[in-house]
Amino acid sequence: RKPVKAVKDVVEAAAEKMAGVLTSEVPGAPGSAPPTVDEPTTPHDPLPPKAEQGAPEARTPTGATTGAPTTANGQQGAFLTTSQGARLRDTDHSLKAGPRGPVLLQDHHLREKITHFDHERIPERVVHARGAGAHGVFEAYGTAEGVTKAGFLRKGRTTDVFVRFSTVLGSRGSADTVRDTRGFATKFYTDEGTFDLVANNIPVFFIQDAVKFPDVIHAGKPHPDREIPQAQSAHDTFWDFVSLHTEAQHHTMWNMSDRGVPRSYRMMEGFGVHTFRLVNDAGETALVKFHWKPKLGVHSLTWEETQMLGGMDPDFHRRDLYDAIEAGAFPEWELGLQVFPDTPEETFAGIDLLDPTKIVPEELAPVQPVGRLTLNRTPTNFFAEVEQVAFHPGHLPPGIDVTNDPLLQGRLFSYVDTQLTRLGGPNFSQIPVNRPHAPVNDMLRDGFHQQAVHAGVAPYRPNSLDGGNPFPAGDGDGAFVDVPVTVAEAPKVRANPVSFDDHFSQARLFWLSMSPVEKEHIIRAYTFELGKCHHQAIKERQLRCLANVDPVLCAEVATGLGLPAPEPTVPLADVAPSAALSQVGRQWPADGRTVGIVVDPARLDDVAEVRRAVFGAGMVPLLVAPHGGTVGDLPVQRTFATGRSVEFDVLLVAGAPAPAPDALPARDAKAGAADSANVDPRVLLMVEECWRHAKAIGAWGAGVTVLRQAGVTGTPGVVTGDSGGEVLAAVQRLMAAHRVWERFPATVA
Ligand code: HDE
């Protein structure tokens, strides 16, 4: 053993040797001052952790809290620390033997930081991987009290909610605006236990039995050999599946309609799809379908907009949701119920309520509003909340129960199962966003990532050691009681009810309910998607399906594909259209809509006033100018380089800005047309695109010459006037219809 002194000598000798190297000029050298850098923000006391950042309260079996801290997860204190709370002086340099290394294995901070980073990603959701979420509140009207005892639906009750919207097919980083079904999952943190309404924006599903879910998803996801196409249904395997499984034709028709390309999450309906069973205080039951109705109406993008946005702003829906909430234009929906008598046949107006490929038209069973949802808070941390939220159609409070819909029955198994892997073990209900707001007193113990410090010795029942705790709820204690539905005595079979065999009548109902412009979009969508398939047999087979829906639709698509239109193989269903299915023809509020205002910095007539008026109307003005910064004293949000028409719901042109230095030469300018050369070609492009996408366009002053050059004056939905105020008022009236539909060609009636 070397004497301590000898060690000291060695250290001192080494320090002498390094004297020339370790000078105080080297940042981090012993004795040197800590490096001074400009702090991006002034250090301040951390915000108090939000309630949902706390760890779950540890409770004893009798429900008393153990006093363990509940704020373990948020940031605390002003200083950077390790995960163990030791303060850190430097997080930018590894611990090295001298500035030129090598790096020392003993650097715990380095290893902790890198190891944690290495494990930051978790598996994405197997479906619905791409999404966005927000917090909000649900307020009940009390109109559902007659059909359900669920406490959160009692008059005036308010309940915290978290909503996650999603696409189905794409990966977590895929574009928002692709053609797809959208998820619309709502977690109601009710005081009787969490209720998850795990819904979609399309009221029917591709399959009638959960056992086929892996099949339809394998068909929709990218091809296994090259892993393309991403987030698309326009490929062979998808159309192979849906043309062979004809029960998918109704859902596919919705996907090919404008419903497949929503303008905004805020402008989508939501549907529980399955029929649920409600039970009231008297024990009476009713069958219901859940609907979300958006305050802003149901609106869509045009196909060209979706494609442009895929490149220009793949986060379009996410941004739209968060911008609207931050601007105070809180998105709102009404929750509504279609209520049906709970008869042994479980049918209504001849429609099998257990068949998830069927709707009940609203004309036959009106949607009765029972409460209002408002989203008013964006997530604090996307991963913690949106990525880790875990929904489950079996999370039901007393008063809401399931039916035997075979698709729903399979879902009741799938969600926990997939979350066990995705969230790394069985304790994900303790993750803050998943914590119920009702007191929890379960006997689930241990497992990966256990957060609770459970007291007591007897997590079993019956027990005498923990005083018999916890106790089962008795009558009048508000327990969840399964509705004692009689299960028919029947042989075990792998079969569907005969009524499930009708695969075309409701696809036809949907088609017949569309306005001409919506029909046109459906024709173009089928033609595009099938046009992207390579196998002739698949196109022909899908045309045979369309022939059973409608001969006009089939013929139009066949023409586009250059194929003959086949004859129907089943009689065309005699169905009455449902006006409620069309998105066109009504007037809606324009809250949170985006108004692009193109300005010429040299002439700002009326711009400040129009901008104020746009704000005043609850919309969002975006000033578009040749350069960033400010024009006059107004902030510029988009330049001609960063702005593009697809961001705007309407366009106002308040000037004729000359080409900025970064503009590419315009074709007309090259040809010597002096007129066009006077205006930045990107402004003309904005006008042309907005016109093509049937958006209202307005201009005043020099802006009118821009519209003239773009050749759009005098056409429907193009407003010119003397003052900005007058033009804005006219444009606002046009916005209520979402688009200037007359501008779309429609070849079918
Ligand atoms: Fe889902 N679905 N699903 N689904 N679903 C999932 O659960 C499943 C279905 C829906 O934002 C998964 O945690 C099966 C219909 C939404 O976190 C998974 C079947 C409807 C979300 C799953 C269906 C939905 C999911 C993947 C056929 C509308 C996103 C990740 C029987 C009523 C939830 C997860 C979120 C997510 C299974 C069909 C809605 C794999 C087996 C019908 C909105 O468990």
Measure the CA–CA gap between 458 and 472, rounded to whole angstroms: 15
Instruction: Identify the band that residue 447 occupies on the pLDDT scale cut at 50, 70 and 90.
Output: very high
Q: Which atom of ligand 1 is nearest to the CA of 213?
A: 27
611 contacts 597 by C-beta, under 8 angstroms: yes
For residue 41, CA distances in Å to 45, 78, 82, 324, 456 come to 12, 13, 21, 26, 47
Residue whose CB lies within 8 A of the most ligand 1 atoms, among 124, 125, 180, 355, for a mutation test = 125
151 contacts 478 by C-beta, under 8 angstroms: yes
Q: Are strands 285-294 and 400-401 parallel, antiparallel or unpaired?
A: unpaired
Q: Tell me, yes or no, whether 421 and 297 share the same domain.
A: yes
Q: Is pLDDT above 70 for 39? A: no
Nearest CA, atom 8, ligand 1: 411
Domain boundary among 372, 400, 434: 434
Confirm or reject: Cβ of 410 under 6 Å from ligand 1: yes
Residue 66: per-residue pLDDT: 47
First to last CA, the chain: 99
Q: Is pLDDT above 90 for 428? A: yes
Q: How confident is the model over 128-142, as pLDDT tens digits?
A: 999 999 999 999 999
Query: Any idea what the CATH number is for the domain that residue 184 is in?
Result: 2.40.180.10
Q: Which residue ranges are tagged as binding site?
A: 125, 164, 213, 411, 415, 422
Query: Any idea what the CATH number is for the domain that residue 719 is in?
Result: 3.40.50.880
Domain assignment present for residue 58? The answer is: no
Q: What is the ipTM of this complex?
A: 0.97
| Nearest CA among 271, 272, 279, 486 for reference residue 397 | 279
Measure the CA–CA gap between 695 and 690, rounded to whole angstroms: 5
CB atoms within 10 A of CB 464: 7
Q: Which atom of ligand 1 is nearest to the CA of 125?
A: 30
Instruction: Identify the band that residue 26 occupies on the pLDDT scale cut at 50, 70 and 90.
Output: very low
221 contacts 169 by C-beta, under 8 angstroms: yes
Q: Is pLDDT above 70 for 28? A: no
Among 52-56, 252-256, 558-562, 712-716, which is the least confidently predicted range? 52-56
Q: Tell me, yes or no, whether 143 and 2 share the same domain.
A: no
Nearest CA, atom 23, ligand 1: 411
Cα(273) to centroid(ligand 1), Å: 12
Q: Which element (helix H / strand E) includes 190?
A: strand 182-190
Q: Tell me, yes or no, whether 24 and 143 share the same domain.
A: no
Domain assignment present for residue 214? The answer is: yes
| Nearest CA among 297, 218, 195 for reference residue 593 | 297
Report CA dihedral (79, 84, 89, 92) to the nearest 10 degrees.
Answer: -110
Confirm or reject: Cβ of 252 under 6 Å from ligand 1: no
Q: Tell me, yes or no, whether 154 and 20 share the same domain.
A: no
Domain boundary among 389, 419, 434: 434
Which residues pair with residue 575 across a beta bridge?
none
- Mean pLDDT, the chain, whole residue set: 91
Q: Is pLDDT above 70 for 55? A: no
Residue 322: per-residue pLDDT: 96
| Nearest CA among 55, 49, 82 for reference residue 69 | 55
426 contacts 416 by C-beta, under 8 angstroms: no
Confirm or reject: Cβ of 707 under 6 Å from ligand 1: no
The residue among 252 and 57 whose pLDDT is bigger is 252
Among 41-55, 548-562, 716-730, which is the least confidently predicted range? 41-55
Nearest CA, atom 7, ligand 1: 415
Instruction: Identify the band that residue 583 occupies on the pLDDT scale cut at 50, 70 and 90.
Output: very high
Where does 391-468 have alpha helices with state H?
406-422
Confirm or reject: Cβ of 162 under 6 Å from ligand 1: no
For residue 517, CA distances in Å to 59, 249, 584, 667, 690 come to 59, 21, 9, 32, 17
Residue 76: per-residue pLDDT: 73
DSSP, res 587: -
Q: Is pLDDT above 90 for 690? A: yes
Structure tokens at 685: 């492009």
Q: How confident is the model over 202-224, as pLDDT tens digits?
A: 999 999 999 999 999 999 999 99
Instruction: Identify the band that residue 605 occupies on the pLDDT scale cut at 50, 70 and 90.
Output: confident
Domain boundary among 388, 419, 434: 434
Cα(413) to centroid(ligand 1), Å: 11
Domain assignment present for residue 669? The answer is: yes
Nearest CA, atom 30, ligand 1: 125
Q: Tell me, yes or no, whether 145 and 27 share the same domain.
A: no
Domain assignment present for residue 9? The answer is: yes
Cα(127) to centroid(ligand 1), Å: 7
Domain assignment present for residue 488? The answer is: no
For residue 462, whether the previous peptide bond is cis, meaning omega lies within 30 degrees of 0, is: yes
Confirm or reject: Cβ of 738 under 6 Å from ligand 1: no
Tokens 């009710």, residue located: 190
Structure tokens at 47: 């915000």
CB atoms within 10 A of CB 200: 23
Measure the CA–CA gap between 375 and 321, rounded to whole angstroms: 9
Domain assignment present for residue 99? The answer is: no
Q: Is pLDDT above 80 for 274? A: yes
Measure the CA–CA gap between 121 and 130, rounded to whole angstroms: 14
Q: How confident is the model over 392-404, as pLDDT tens digits?
A: 999 999 999 999 9
Q: Is pLDDT above 60 for 53? A: no
Confirm or reject: Cβ of 419 under 6 Å from ligand 1: yes
Residue 346: per-residue pLDDT: 97
Q: Tell me, yes or no, whether 183 and 328 share the same domain.
A: yes
- pTM for this one? 0.91
Q: How confident is the model over 472-517, as pLDDT tens digits?
A: 999 899 999 999 999 888 999 999 999 999 999 999 999 999 999 9
Structure tokens at 365: 């069973």
Residue 74: per-residue pLDDT: 60
Q: Which residue ranges are tagged as binding site for heme?
A: 125, 164, 213, 411, 415, 422
Cα(436) to centroid(ligand 1), Å: 20
Instruction: Identify the band that residue 50 occupies on the pLDDT scale cut at 50, 70 and 90.
Output: very low
Measure the CA–CA gap between 538 and 490, rounded to whole angstroms: 38
Q: Tell me, yes or no, whether 5 and 148 share the same domain.
A: no
Measure the CA–CA gap between 458 and 65, rounded to whole angstroms: 17
Confirm or reject: Cβ of 391 under 6 Å from ligand 1: yes
Q: How confident is the model over 153-184, as pLDDT tens digits?
A: 999 999 999 999 999 999 999 999 999 999 99
Measure the CA–CA gap between 720 and 728, rounded to whole angstroms: 10
Measure the CA–CA gap between 573 and 661, rounded to whole angstroms: 61
- Give the number of domains in the chain: 3
Q: Tell me, yes or no, whether 22 and 152 share the same domain.
A: no
Structure tokens at 270: 């939501």
Domain assignment present for residue 714? The answer is: yes
Q: What are the phi and psi torsion angles at 397 (to 5°)? A: -90, 165
Confirm or reject: Cβ of 169 under 6 Å from ligand 1: no
* Structural domain that includes position 14: 1-33
Q: Are strands 594-598 and 285-294 parallel, antiparallel or unpaired?
A: unpaired
Measure the CA–CA gap between 498 and 42, rounded to whole angstroms: 69
Q: Which atom of ligand 1 is nearest to the CA of 389?
A: 17
Domain assignment present for residue 251? The answer is: yes
Where does 27-130 have alpha helices with state H?
108-118
Nearest CA, atom 44, ligand 1: 415
Q: Tell me, yes or no, whether 136 and 6 share the same domain.
A: no
Q: Which atom of ligand 1 is nearest to the CA of 185?
A: 43
148 contacts 180 by C-beta, under 8 angstroms: no
Mention every residue, 6+ apart, whose C-beta is less than 8 A from residue 110: 94, 95, 103
Measure the CA–CA gap between 710 and 71, rounded to whole angstroms: 59
| pLDDT above 70: percentage of residues in the chain | 88
Q: Which atom of ligand 1 is nearest to the CA of 410?
A: 31
Catalytic residue numbers, as ranges: 128, 200
DSSP states along 42-67: ---PPPPPPGGGSPPPPB-TTS-B--
Q: Tell me, yes or no, whether 18 and 151 share the same domain.
A: no
Confirm or reject: Cβ of 206 under 6 Å from ligand 1: no
Residue 661: per-residue pLDDT: 85
Measure the CA–CA gap between 545 and 245, rounded to whole angstroms: 10
Structure tokens at 81: 């620390």
Tokens 């105080």, residue located: 24
- Give mean pLDDT, residues 611-635: 94
512 contacts 575 by C-beta, under 8 angstroms: yes
